[in-house]
Chains A and B, each alone.
Chain A
Amino acid sequence: SAVISQKPSRDICQRGTSLTIQCQVDSQVTMMFWYRQQPGQSLTLIATANQGSEATYESGFVIDKFPISRPNLTFSTLTVSNMSPEDSSIYLCSVVGDVYTEAFFGQGTRLTVV
């Protein structure tokens, strides 16, 4: 299993500002994933972050809005840029187990944009 520490756990931000979410894993992992869960919705994959290369974004998500850093095998950040109320969501980072049997999640960041 993997232990994932994510911070902040919650924040209330003004529209037009940016928030950077940090994700720290207790072991080295090749890929880290960022998800968004909007109210009443499923977990939606934003992007996959590989160490040493640019993140791969899913349809509907762009790097300018959600820049991701992956400086090493245990850490990643997701920035939500130029926020609007529509960005109010829970953001989760995730890693996959060694034998790709399950995904492990951080506790999530509950973002409210006012």
Chain B
Amino acid sequence: DQQVKQNSPSLSVQEGRISILNCDYTNSMFDYFLWYKKYPAEGPTFLISISSIKDKNEDGRFTVFLNKSAKHLSLHIVPSQPGDSAVYFCAASARGTGNQFYFGTGTSLTVIP
């Protein structure tokens, strides 16, 4: 049972435009959400996170939005750069119930120069 879902396997965006990556979850116990970026032949690297007590967290060009009622989060990248081309995973955890992170299937972002 996939508790974290990324329904778009791929996304193409022009350089300089906004990239929006979406993620849905089903477990209402999740209280911490993360985005990871993965290049080929490398492990995932942490990008940005958000706690369930917030609805927005911003770090430079990256902003994560959380809509708890809809069980939905999104990652906005503005402006998109060719170096952002990678696979992006969202992840969720329920910190009070253990240390397991649940990952989505990933969205492959291609930023076209």
A, B bound: yes
Query: CB within 8 Å of B: which residues of A?
Result: 4, 6, 9, 31, 33, 35, 40-45, 48, 92, 94, 96, 100-108, 110
CB proximity of B17 to chain A, nearest CB, Å: 27
Task: Compute how far the CA of A104 lies from the CA of B44 in the bound complex, rounded to whole angstroms.
Answer: 8
Task: Compute how far the CA of A37 lies from the CA of B104 in the bound complex, rounded to whole angstroms.
Answer: 11
Does B45 touch A at the CB level, under 8 Å? yes
B102 / chain A contacts, CB cutoff of 8 Å: 42
A-B contact count (CB 8 A): 56
A41 / chain B contacts, CB cutoff of 8 Å: 105
For A4, A33, A108, the residue with the greatest tally of chain B CB atoms inside 10 Å of its CB is A108
Query: CB within 8 Å of A: which residues of B?
Result: 2, 4, 9, 32, 34, 36, 41-46, 49, 89, 91, 95, 99-106
Say what secondary structure dominates the interface of chain A: strand
Report whether B46 and A102 are in contact in the complex, using a CB–CB cutoff of 8 Å. Answer: yes
Report whether B43 and A108 are in contact in the complex, using a CB–CB cutoff of 8 Å. Answer: yes
Report whether B89 and A96 are in contact in the complex, using a CB–CB cutoff of 8 Å. Answer: no
Task: Compute how far the CA of A48 lies from the CA of B99 in the bound complex, rounded to whole angstroms.
Answer: 9
Report whether A103 and B46 are in contact in the complex, using a CB–CB cutoff of 8 Å. Answer: yes
CB proximity of B58 to chain A, nearest CB, Å: 17
A106 / chain B contacts, CB cutoff of 8 Å: 43
**Provided the pairs A42-B2, A43-B89, A110-B41 are in contact, do residues A96 and B99 lie with their beta carbons within 8 angstroms?**
yes
